[in-house]
Every structure is written in structure tokens, then in C-alpha cells.
A and B are shown apart, each in its own frame.
Chain A
Amino acid sequence: MTSFKIDVRESQNVNILDLQGYLDAHTTPELEKAFQTLIEKKQFNILVNCKDLTYISSAGVGVFMAYIEDVREHNGDIKFSNMTSKVYNIFDLLEFPRIYDIAKDESEAIAKFLSLKK
């Protein structure tokens, strides 16, 4: 059984992180590495697809908070899509919809990135 895995792909100038498995204090270093790699490559449009993300704790949530300021300073953003209710409930509890776009699906999230460019 996969504990945590990230696949990275690109679509319409948006870098998509497909998260699979659980994101806790043990697995967050993988996510940090993925963000670090994108930022080093100056890729600041980042979509986190949560379709196969089965669990998240505050450690996982903390990774997004660690990078959001840097990403937005470079006119990019971190957006989310395809969240299960289990994961969304934690984001909602922490009031994250205040500052993050959480889209129903990937196409909606990518459309938001494209609309920022206009």
C-alpha cells in the first residue's frame, strides 16, 4: 500500500501535483521537496489535485502555508481541486477557503489560473 506519492505533470502552464495516500508529519518531506523543486525551476502556478489524497493533518497543511507567500510574491498561486469531504473538512476548520481557491475539479482550477493572466 502506498503511504504517500506525488506525481507531477503540467497542463496549460499550470504545474499539477497529484497527491496519493496520506499526508502527515512523516510524509510531508516529500511534498516539501516537490514544492522546492517547482520553486527552484521558477514554476509558480501550482495546482494540488487531491483526488487520491486520503488523509491530511496540520503538518501537511503547514507545507502549503510555508510556500504560499513566496509563490504569490512571484505572481503565482497554489490552488486545490478534487478534494474529498474528509480533507475539505480540515481545510474548512482552519478557514483556508478564506485564502485558497478550492475548486471542484481540475478544469475549474486551471480556468482560475488562466483568468488571473488576463
Chain B
Amino acid sequence: MKILSQTDQLKSVRDFVAGAASDFGFDEETVNKISIAVDEACTNIIKHSYEFAENRAIEITIEMGDGKFEIIVSHNGKSFNPDEIKPPDMKEYLAHYRHGGLGMHLMRSLMDRVEYRAAGSKKSTVHLIKYHPVKVPRS
């Protein structure tokens, strides 16, 4: 699925991913978690990688197999090193009424793995991975 970097596209992305996740056999609660995670990834790209430019491309690809459901969100905007962003201490965050910066925290909390890769000089990808509890092959 390809979209332009506009927030009115987020619903379509969620619906696309939710459909695939449901077909893969995830329950409703897990489908919702996956939808939110991909929303957060795309929103971060729109805000931070593309700085709200509305004519840039975001591609969402889904790879499934061996119990693994992987969403790959690709863009060619500014990349960043997520390791430089510490997860928030929520107790301190809430005590000081901070706001912003929760998208990445949610992605990491809702998915089993989140990986950031720079592929080539311009393209960057965010990988959101969820394992199906029943489908993962036993070794």
C-alpha cells in the first residue's frame, strides 16, 4: 500500500493492516494493537521524517510466514537513530505533565519487535513485528 504523507491517510493504513492481521488469525485485541503501532509509525514519519510535507511517499508492506507478521513502513525522509531516544519514565512523564514523544513507546509496547533500518542512502524502513502465539513453528 502506498500513501502520501498526509494524516487523513492514517485510517486507510489502519484498515489495510487490520484486515491483513485479522486474516492472519490474530484476535481482535491484537489486531487493534497492530493497527495502533502502524498508525504511530506513519505519524512519526509524517511529523519527523517528512516534517509535515504532504506530497511525500510512505509505503506499507506486509510479510507473513512461519507465525511472523511483519509490517515494513518505508520512507525517504529524515532518518533517526531510535537508540538515542530513551523510553520515557512514565511516572516522571505524568508527574510533570509532559506531552509528546509517546508514539515510539507505544510501538515498542504493542509489538513484539520494532526495528529501524536505513537501506541505501535515501530509503529508511521501520519494521513492526508480531508473532502469532499458535503459528510460530516449534524448533
Residues of A whose CB lies within 8 Å of any CB of B are: 3, 22, 24-26, 55, 57-59, 61-62, 65-66, 68-69, 86, 89-90, 93-96, 98-99
Contacts and interface: CB of A to CB of B under 8 A. Distances in A.
Nearest to A59: B43
B5 to A, nearest CB: 11
B102 A58 contact: yes
A62 B106 CA distance: 12
Given A65-B98, A98-B94, A89 B109 contact: no
Contact of B40 (A57, A66, A96): A57
Contacts of A89: 29, 32
B106 A65 contact: no
Interface of B: 7-8, 10-11, 14, 29, 32, 35-36, 39-40, 43, 46-47, 90-91, 94-95, 97-100, 102-103, 105-106, 109-110
Nearest to B33: A89
B102 A62 contact: yes
Given A22-B11, A61-B102, A98 B32 contact: no
A81 to B, nearest CB: 20
Main DSSP-derived SS at the A contact region = helix
A60 to B, nearest CB: 10
Contact of A57 (B29, B39, B46, B91): B39
B7 A24 contact: yes
A22 B97 CA distance: 24
Contacts of B43: 24-25, 57-59
Nearest to B35: A55
B97 A58 contact: no
Contacts of A22: 11
A24 B102 contact: no
